[in-house]
Structure 1
Amino acid sequence: MTETPDPFTNMYEAPAKLARALFAPMMGTMDAGAAAQGMLTPEDARHWGEVAAKLQGMWAQYQAEQLASPQALVPYFDPARWMALATDWYRQMPLAQADQQKALMEEGMKLWEDVLGQYGLGPKAAEHAGGDVQLPRKDRRFADEKWRAHPAFALIHQTYLFLAERVAEMVDKAEGLNPQQREQLRFTTRAITEAASPANFPLTNPVVMERTLETRGDNLVKGMEHLLADMRRGQLSHTDASAFRLGENIATTPGKVVHETPLCQLIQYAPVTDKVMKTPLIIFPPWINRFYILDLNAKKSFVKWAVEEGLTVFMVSWKSADASMKDVVWDDYVRAQMDAIDHVRDRLDVRSVHAIGYCVAGTTLAATLAILHRREQQDKVKSATFFTAQVDFEKAGELLNFIDDQQLGAIKALSPDGYLDGRYMAATFNLLRGTDLIWNYVVNNYLLGEDYPAFDLLHWNGDVTNLPAKWHQQYLRDLYRDNRLVEGDALTVDNTPVDLGRVATPTYVQAGKEDHIAPAESVWRITEHFKGPIKFVLAGSGHIAGVVNPPEAGKYQYWTNDGSPRSLAEFREGAVEHPGSWWPDWIDWLREQDSETVPATGKRKPGSKGDKVIEDAPGRYVATR
């Protein structure tokens, strides 16, 4: 196959060379000779020499460490490795023919003339004499005025944005691709263009260059410290992990661990009201992350808010997988949900529970409900709530790009001990939003040398959990790839065929308007498979912020539709927008299902006299790595 020309090669390299030529006197020749010409003082020259020595020494020490004790994960997180693989695949795709390449070059030259003309340079200088610089393309990565203050940097980022647009158009027009291949090519192309941003390289980023001159390179030393620390831990850092302590400033709602299995712990939270709703609430968070996303701190805690609303709240804390869980499959998580439901019913001597399933735990809750209905035990769950959960994966979004046979095989190879290291999943989710979750931190923390923020949500996002390998393969294959959960009796779980069409439990479904992990259109599909009464709510924001949105924050909005929409599009057309959090709407709905209350006494107060408990919340499992 003839190699496809890379449109980034020539047109992006030229302005980069221009920048190096213009700024070489400042950055590239800071040596004794430059000092002799009056460009640097002897002290400056000595400091720059020390910086260079520090950088060289730090890298040499890291390489020595790797030779002594190589880390298996490091190659996986090496950006160069991924860029090489992605670019090799990209070059084999039929993106552009020779005539298209020629048109691209001609349009690029016109862009150069227009941009240079803004600065009174080139053949179009007269057209812009004395006018303000108005560049044709805008992007928040280049919002700093320094990107427009000099024609070299204006050319660099405008050329980049132009090429990114044109390459994306080539993907849309490329012939001979099936829908899945085109979608994968879109994803790969976006990943490449995000990585190729001139903002990500010190010599093409004027903000980094200015910081480097101001600090005389100390930012690069600090950035190297951050980079090597991340490479040693095999994970990109988003926040200052030392700022957070379980049970002290995150996961702080008082409670007790009242039940424990090899797969999970069950936490019961202490009541703060004299009376509580008779039917308790049990929450199943996803085991892909830690449960405390719903108990981040006193102001953001869904758990604390629900307790204050008079609910007896239970939370499952899943164990991070290790080699002892190598045989754990989806059936085990379904059985764990049924066990937790039965334990709460027996503990409080109640007939039913309200249940919440978040993300993958919501998918599992759907199967649990189907099994309970098949066994005629559906009364164990009075109502079910789904946070950004999918049951029909036809429209599951960008994660579908990771589930072809080749990639499933690659993932399996990463799990030799029977579990998948959570850092792999973290890297995958970061790739879905590369600019925000990867390159933004490369620039700020590696190039600018800025300190990490103390941000609880980002800390939770990086507090990864390991996954049982058999479960992970089963989930990707049977649900994401083959979409078998929505086929009646196509799957058997715990020796029971699963048919979602049997589920008649009153259901509340929350989806995120901007969710890229569980797209709203995909979440909507649950309404097409359950047969019971369903209330669908579309919340502002995405997979996390759309859920964790306390009323006191006054953020975002949500939409409801009291009609009978047959699709998400119809829902949107007739929806009513409400400001703020959807949580009050949910609690009102829950009380409509069952408003009976009882005194908050006895085992409603975990750890009270005569009540045997295991340990204080948040428990041991959330701290396992």
Structure 2
Amino acid sequence: MPGLDIFDRMVRAIQARMTQGISPTAVASAWMDWIVHLASAPGKQLALSARASQAMLRHGMWLAHAALGPVEPLVAPDAHDSRFADPAWKQWPFNAVVQSYLLSEAWWLETAHRVPGMTSRHEQEVTFMLRQLCDMFAPGNIPWINPVVIARAAREGGFNLLRGGHNWLEDMERLLTDRPPVGTEAFLPGRDVAVTPGRVIYRNDLMELIQYAPATDAVCAEPILIVPAWIMKFYVLDLSPDNSLVRWLVAQGHVVFIISWKNPGADDRDVGLDDYRRKGVMAAMDAIAAVLPGRKVHLCGYCIGGTIAMIAAATMARDHDERLASLTLLAAQTDFAEAGELMLFLDERQIDYLDDLMWAQGYLDTRQMAGAFQALRSNELVWSRLVRTYVLGEREPMADLAAWNSDQTRMPARMHSEYLRGLFLENRLSAGRFAVDGRVIVMRDVRVPIFAVGTARDHIAPWRSVYKVSLFADTDITFALASGGHNVGIVCPPDSPKGSFQMLTRPENEQYIDPDTWAALAPHHDGSWWPAWERWLVAAGSETRVAPPAMGAPAQGLVPLDAAPGRYVHMV
């Protein structure tokens, strides 16, 4: 009966709010598969018992030596694991605590590895969840066995705990009143960040198009259109003046346009993925054609904005629309077969569960998405931060990138469901089954040169997944692998002392190079990848310098509206 079906959806939506969108059925089935098959695998149990006994024996012998003086650790933390970086963890008896924990962590992860009869997917899911539990119970999270906390409390007479309690109360108050985190007030868009001069020249119910004012007497003939991810706000690419990709491009003599997406609400529940192509990318292309008639455009997309940019480029190629000069993909996936740990809990059951949640809300909430991203690096983004803020009583100074990261957006229900099903779950784009206007598009139709950037520590768009555009596009492809993660690797200004990258071009019609071979062959460069990309943009265009264009095109109805960063960036 329809009424009872709606009742079931309401119940599931309530459950989904309580679990932050994680399906209990998907989680329970993975645990059950592990428990049942491990219980019926005596050989695996004996191997685990032998490993535990061996570990205990080695640890006992190590403890005896360590009690007498400095000794090399039995197990070293992962290279990117900074939980035990403080020298105090290397002193007795805390080094023994670390060794015991690392040995236990390795043993627990081994319990989910190669269990006879257990599916590969469930093995990955249980391993992920066991890692989360191990991160939760790490010794650094237990104040009375954390030497850094003990030393701080002794030195300050416990006042660090009072500061931590104050921090917790302050954060809870902001959470309950739906206010942004402490320190974000210093990074207001239009005042402190997103201050590159420009004007909104076009607005519809999905986006604003910003045209930036020129900073040079002559500009490159081909403009750049940047399509940011609508999962966050656009100004990640226009942060503080010394940290802004947009400002830097303008200073190099480029005409830059950028899309600022609307933050959707419940009324936008029926906005679909193709709306972001039509009302976003293509509407912006049409507006640019009115401002600069006859000019080709360098199209650049970041994250999911890069995915929709590729979809738009493939559609334009299919329809013989030749307005593109090049295509740049920044940490953007076009094939989702190796999309990292985000894929672990994206199956039909999970997406049905999210659909019920979004059916009730009309959108996917910012906190539900943020929780999923933080879980990928829980030891860095959750537990270590909690200890530092609420036990040590320290607040990290807010930076522009961190402030932007807290200024989150929602996802329309229909769009997010289509995105998860069509791209993540069914991988239609690379499989040649993604249809636009009822007709399939294929990436190999894109003939303009492509510049793709992956980042070495990306947990959202792993660089090997980003690299797979080389499998499906049949044109000149330059791939750059930048140091850093999904955001820091992209926001890497030339003046920054940090950063490095590898870069190599595969010309059209040359043989495919697998990612590991590419990494061995591609030259290393110190510094930012921005200048290399800018030189590539110039070479991909006509290399002609012309007078800067007027702002907007009033004669074609594109009258300049608000000053940048516009209105949509302020929507909460």
TM band (smaller chain): 0.7 to 0.9
Contact 1:256–1:615, Cα closer than 8 Å, also in 2: yes
SS in 2 for 1:172: coil
Aligned to 2:112: 171
Contact 1:560–1:576, Cα closer than 8 Å, also in 2: yes
Q: 2: distance between equivalents of 1:137 and 1:236? A: 43
Q: Do the aligned partners of residues 357 and 115 (structure 1) sit closer, same or farther apart at CA in structure 2, a change above 3 Å counting? A: same
SS in 1 for 2:498: coil
Q: Do the aligned partners of residues 100 and 204 (structure 1) sit closer, same or farther apart at CA in structure 2, a change above 3 Å counting? A: farther
Q: Do the aligned partners of residues 184 and 236 (structure 1) sit closer, same or farther apart at CA in structure 2, a change above 3 Å counting? A: farther
Q: Do the aligned partners of residues 231 and 173 (structure 1) sit closer, same or farther apart at CA in structure 2, a change above 3 Å counting? A: farther
Q: 2: distance between equivalents of 1:106 and 1:623? A: 59
TM-score (norm 2): 0.87
Q: 1: distance between equivalents of 2:453 and 2:102? A: 36
Which residue identity lines up with residue 309 of structure 2 in the other structure?
A: L
Q: 2: distance between equivalents of 1:587 and 1:355? A: 13
% same residue: 34
Aligned to 1:25: none
Q: 1: distance between equivalents of 2:195 and 2:179? A: 26
Aligned to 1:569: 516
Contact 1:294–1:301, Cα closer than 8 Å, also in 2: yes
SS in 1 for 2:539: helix
1:580 to 521, 524, 527: 527
Q: Do the aligned partners of residues 329 and 420 (structure 1) sit closer, same or farther apart at CA in structure 2, a change above 3 Å counting? A: same
1:496 CA displacement: 3.9
Q: 1: distance between equivalents of 2:522 and 2:59? A: 47
Q: 1: distance between equivalents of 2:422 and 2:16? A: 27
Which residue identity lines up with residue 136 of structure 1 in the other structure?
A: L
Which residue identity lines up with residue 504 of structure 2 in the other structure?
A: N
Contact 1:256–1:616, Cα closer than 8 Å, also in 2: yes
Q: Do the aligned partners of residues 603 and 455 (structure 1) sit closer, same or farther apart at CA in structure 2, a change above 3 Å counting? A: closer
Aligned to 1:205: 146
Moved more, 277-286 or 447-456: 447-456
Contact 1:282–1:313, Cα closer than 8 Å, also in 2: yes
1:278 CA displacement: 1.6
Contact 2:33–2:118, Cα closer than 8 Å, also in 1: no
1:423 CA displacement: 1.2
1:191 CA displacement: 1.4
Q: 2: distance between equivalents of 1:198 and 1:454? A: 27
Aligned to 2:544: 596
Moved more, 420-429 or 211-220: 211-220
Aligned to 1:135: 73
1:570 CA displacement: 2.8
Which residue identity lines up with residue 429 of structure 1 in the other structure?
A: F
Q: 2: distance between equivalents of 1:176 and 1:439? A: 34
Aligned to 1:500: 443
Aligned to 1:475: 419
Q: Do the aligned partners of residues 555 and 452 (structure 1) sit closer, same or farther apart at CA in structure 2, a change above 3 Å counting? A: closer
Q: 2: distance between equivalents of 1:389 and 1:348? A: 27
Aligned to 1:254: 197
2:228 matches 1:285: yes
Which residue identity lines up with residue 298 of structure 1 in the other structure?
A: P
RMSD (Å), alpha carbons: 3.0
Aligned to 1:35: none
Which residue identity lines up with residue 246 of structure 2 in the other structure?
A: V
Which residue identity lines up with residue 313 of structure 2 in the other structure?
A: L
Q: Do the aligned partners of residues 100 and 226 (structure 1) sit closer, same or farther apart at CA in structure 2, a change above 3 Å counting? A: farther
Moved more, 364-373 or 558-567: 558-567
SS in 1 for 2:299: strand
Q: Do the aligned partners of residues 88 and 621 (structure 1) sit closer, same or farther apart at CA in structure 2, a change above 3 Å counting? A: same
Q: 2: distance between equivalents of 1:238 and 1:480? A: 31
Which residue identity lines up with residue 479 of structure 1 in the other structure?
A: L
2:188 matches 1:245: yes
Contact 2:30–2:125, Cα closer than 8 Å, also in 1: no
Aligned to 1:356: 300
Contact 2:299–2:328, Cα closer than 8 Å, also in 1: yes
Moved more, 406-415 or 443-452: 406-415
Larger Rg over CA atoms:
1
SS in 2 for 1:136: coil
2:475 matches 1:532: yes
2:339 to 359, 378, 396: 396
Q: 1: distance between equivalents of 2:130 and 2:38? A: 11
Contact 1:275–1:597, Cα closer than 8 Å, also in 2: yes
1:525 CA displacement: 1.5
Which runs of structure 2 are paired with 1:231-242 in the superposition (5 Å)?
A: 231=172, 233=175, 240-242=183-185
Q: 2: distance between equivalents of 1:236 and 1:197? A: 31
Which residue identity lines up with residue 116 of structure 1 in the other structure?
A: L
Q: 2: distance between equivalents of 1:90 and 1:370? A: 42
Moved more, 583-592 or 236-245: 236-245
Aligned to 1:187: 128
SS in 2 for 1:449: coil
Q: Do the aligned partners of residues 372 and 148 (structure 1) sit closer, same or farther apart at CA in structure 2, a change above 3 Å counting? A: closer
Aligned to 2:567: 620
Q: Do the aligned partners of residues 498 and 225 (structure 1) sit closer, same or farther apart at CA in structure 2, a change above 3 Å counting? A: farther
Q: Do the aligned partners of residues 239 and 493 (structure 1) sit closer, same or farther apart at CA in structure 2, a change above 3 Å counting? A: farther
Which runs of structure 2 are paired with 1:51-130 in the superposition (5 Å)?
A: 75-76=18-19, 92=35, 94-95=37-38, 98-100=45-47, 102-118=49-65, 120=67, 128=68
Q: 1: distance between equivalents of 2:20 and 2:76? A: 31
Contact 1:240–1:453, Cα closer than 8 Å, also in 2: yes
Say which structure, 1 or 2, has more relative contact order (CA 8 Å, 6+ apart): 2
2:157 matches 1:157: no
Q: Do the aligned partners of residues 497 and 442 (structure 1) sit closer, same or farther apart at CA in structure 2, a change above 3 Å counting? A: same
Contact 1:348–1:603, Cα closer than 8 Å, also in 2: no
Structure 1, residues 136-178: CA drift from partner, whole Å, max 9, x if none?
2343312334334442x33332211101112222322322223
Q: Do the aligned partners of residues 146 and 95 (structure 1) sit closer, same or farther apart at CA in structure 2, a change above 3 Å counting? A: farther
Aligned to 1:519: 462
Aligned to 1:455: 399
Which residue identity lines up with residue 110 of structure 1 in the other structure?
A: L
1:582 CA displacement: 1.5
Aligned to 1:383: 326
Q: Do the aligned partners of residues 301 and 89 (structure 1) sit closer, same or farther apart at CA in structure 2, a change above 3 Å counting? A: farther
Q: 1: distance between equivalents of 2:400 and 2:301? A: 22
Runs of at least 5 residues in structure 1 that lack an aligned partner in the other structure: 1-70, 121-127
Contact 1:236–1:438, Cα closer than 8 Å, also in 2: no
Aligned to 1:50: none
Runs of at least 5 residues in structure 2 that lack an aligned partner in the other structure: 1-13
Number of residue pairs aligned between Structure 1 and Structure 2:
539
